[in-house]
Structure formats: structure tokens, C-alpha cells
Amino acid sequence: MQKATATYVAPPGDSKVVEIGGVTFFHGKPVELNSYEHGHLIAKLPGNKHFDVTVGEDDNKPAPVEKKRGRPSNADKAAAKEAAEKAEADAKAAIAKAKEAKADADDLAKDDDKPAASKSIFSTSQPNRSALT
């Protein structure tokens, strides 16, 4: 998309307002234009001596897609149905994964409730040092 700024410079004794291509220009007031809506003006106004035009660089972004009007086609219905089924399958997979993670966490919590001696084979009892002194 290319952007431009156009400013109307009215000649002496002429109207201070002009409308070109559906855009109203007031004397001395800059107007923002873009190549999607006003490409014809961006091409035409630099050649007009009554306009000061500054054209920016083209950013190579694609034009926005307009929404289709009317009833959706059978292909659109099928695509929407397929997308909904995929979303439902993804949701079910996420639920199953969450349940599995919860079960693992519950198993770990049960292991933490066991006495220390049964947790590890390396646990040793240390003598009471206060009785030795």
C-alpha cells in the first residue's frame, strides 16, 4: 500500500474548496490518501499545478480482502464445517492432555504423602547427637 499526502493550493480569486474523485480538498489543508482507495488520485495529482503532493514508499502489503456478500457457497460451507471439526478435535485432544497431566500430578502428590523411609532407599537415620554430649 502506498500512502500520499495532498494539499490543495487555490489560485487567487478561485474557490477554496475542490472535490476530485470523491475526495474534498480545502485550501492549505493536507489530505491523507492511500493506493487502495485513491490510487487514481495518487497517480493524477502530482501533475496538477494546484496540488502539493508527497508520495511515500510502497510497503508491498496485499490489498485487504473484501467480505463476500450474499449466501455462502457450498465450498465455503464445507471449509467452515471442516474448520469447526478440526477445532473440536483439537479441543478434545487438549482436554485429554490436561486430564493426563492432572493424573500425573495427583500421582506425584500421593507419593509425597508417603513416609520418608519408603520414599528413598538412601534415607538413613541419624543418631540423636544431643544424647551423646
Q: List, in order, residues 6 or more apart from 63 with CB less than 8 Å away.
A: 1, 36
Strands 17-20 and 23-26, how do they pair? antiparallel
Q: Which three three-digit cell numbers place residue 68?
A: 463476500
Closest CA to 44 of 6, 2, 15: 6
Q: List, in order, residues 6 or more apart from 54 with CB less than 8 Å away.
A: 4, 5, 6
* Chain segment 43-54, per-residue pLDDT in tens: 999 999 999 999
CATH at 24: 3.40.5.100
Is 20 a domain residue? yes
* Chain segment 88-105, per-residue pLDDT in tens: 999 999 999 999 999 888
pTM of the full structure = 0.46
Q: Given this model, what pLDDT does residue 90 score?
A: 95
88 lies in which domain range? 72-113
- Same domain? For 7 and 50 the reply is yes
Give the Cα separation of 99 and 59 in Å (integer): 47
